[in-house]
Amino acid sequence: MIRWRRARLTAAREETPTARTLVFEVADWPGHLAGQHVDVRLTAPDGYTAQRSYSLAAPEGVELTVEGLPDGEVSPYLVDELTVGDEIELRGPVGGWFVWRPAVTTPVLLVAGGSGIVPLMAMIRARRLMGGETPFHLVYSLGEPARRYYAAELDTPEPWLTITWVHTRVAPHRRITKDDLPGPGPDVFVCGPTGFVEAAADLLLDLGHDPGQVRTERFGG
Ligand SMILES: Cc1cc2nc3c(=O)[nH]c(=O)nc-3n(C[C@H](O)[C@H](O)[C@H](O)COP(=O)(O)OP(=O)(O)OC[C@H]3O[C@@H](n4cnc5c(N)ncnc54)[C@H](O)[C@@H]3O)c2cc1C
């Protein structure tokens, strides 16, 4: 069984007005693959605990990006209250299916809805670290450009990375369609809220993608 470890917040940066990236120092962290997540546990002074999952945002070190839900229990605390030097508990890495392994050179299609970009960004960063020839295509659907995570990084062109942006709340308001997605061939990773993941997976299967090559991760919601 994976044990709980203490994690100390060493740095935090704002991604958007509602999302924050948190960098933790975790003693004896065993390392992880891009796409894996951790379980985070908060304990109140009266002993009440709450536990949620968060994807690892980078291939090295323990870095999470959390979207604060206005009516959520855990995420507003992580985004607005946790201070550098504070400790929480986490357990991981978790997950062995929704992972990109740098040794696999099949082209990659990443399909992100909102905060679903987080584990996909770990894959992009792992690809950058690794070098090589593997082409990546990211399709990133979000409300508006101001909600982009990792904006400066994704605005820096990389010859191996193609990005298709879909904005649902600025003109032309639209949702992801088959025209945004390439045909079968690449290994596909889809991540986001449950409804988004189901819609994107249906489009991919309609386009003829092999279900065995389409991996999905649902964030709930
Ligand atoms: C594998 C995995 C990876 C994830 N990675 C990330 C990540 O990288 N970044 C990220 O931001 N999130 C991620 N999530 C989502 C995350 O785990 C949390 O679900 C999210 O942060 C919300 O938690 P919360 O405690 O703030 O909200 P919660 O308190 O859990 O509430 C979530 C929503 O449900 C509603 N709700 C709660 N209780 C009720 C009720 N009784 N009746 C009706 N509605 C209710 C709330 O109003 C809110 O809108 C991931 C999830 C999974 C499964």
The pLDDT assigned to 153 comes to: 97
Tell the residue number behind the tokens 């546990």, with chain if given.
Answer: 41
The pLDDT assigned to 218 comes to: 98
Tell the residue number behind the tokens 């605005």, with chain if given.
Answer: 155
The pLDDT assigned to 170 comes to: 87
Determine contact, residues 174/146, Cβ cutoff 8 Å: no
Q: How far is it, in rounded angstroms, from Cα 172 to Cα 170?
A: 6
Q: Dmax of the chain from CA atoms?
A: 53
Nearest to 136 by CA among 163, 117, 116, 118: 163
Site to probe by mutation for ligand 1, drawn from 24, 41, 49, 55 as the one with most ligand atoms within 8 Å of Cβ, is: 55
The pLDDT assigned to 215 comes to: 98
The pLDDT assigned to 1 comes to: 75
The pLDDT assigned to 174 comes to: 87
For residue 42, list its beta bridge partners.
50
Ranges under pLDDT 50 in the chain:
none
Q: Of all helices (H) and strands (E), which one includes residue 106?
A: none
DSSP assignment letter at 114 = G
Q: How far is it, in rounded angstroms, from Cα 203 to Cα 209?
A: 9
The structure's pTM equals 0.97
Of the chain, the end-to-end C-alpha distance in Å amounts to 28
The pLDDT assigned to 171 comes to: 82
Say how many Å lie between the CA of residue 135 and the centre of ligand 1.
32
Say how many Å lie between the CA of residue 72 and the centre of ligand 1.
6
